[in-house]
Structure 1
Amino acid sequence: MKSNLTQHPCKGKCTEFKNEQCKTCLVRESVKIGCDYLPDDTVVKIHGDDDTLYVFAMQSEINPLYGYIGEPYAEQGECIALSDIRSATAAEFKAKHRLTKAEQAIAEVP
């Protein structure tokens, strides 16, 4: 099997690169794995008056604290901090919009 170290992104840039994956890359990979969302998860924005349901597309490769979301079937989306979104609840999914706190309280009552 041919090594891919000649194409490694740290080659020629990182002082830690010694013909094997450096600590910088290992840290970056461990952060990327920590994302709570999977592609096609339904999410809502936590802040603001936007009650739209969004679909999580992917975690940013440039900054793992951000991700891309978009409206279902939209070709373009937006980059947003992962801390500014949350998973949509079952009641929100059924209502097809983000619920207010009062609506959430009513939805939780059996």
Structure 2
Amino acid sequence: MKLVMTVALIATAMLTAPLGHADPDPHKPDPGNHFCPGGGTVDQMSPLEPSCDGIPYDDGAYWRAINRGAPGTASLVVVQCVKPPPPPGLFGPQIIGVVPAPPGSCQ
């Protein structure tokens, strides 16, 4: 009888213990869970497509998740590695928005 009670208590303790989990990577946004450690923005090119950013890496590149699709419809989330545009005047006309990051960024 003691063995049955001990096993029952251990099983109960295991089932009621909280699940452990690691903290999410702050570089990778998760718009489904509203985890945008780098901030949430609205694309300047399309104000209906909100984006969710991760924290930038040392080179300034960061992950951006963009929700493509009209509100209330099935949408597609596009995740890409981007960088802020260069300052105006250094490399030609001012670029609005972000630009794709070079290969090797976001690692």
More helix by share: 1
TM-score (norm. length: structure 1)? 0.29
- TM-score of the aligned structures, taking structure 2 as reference length: 0.29
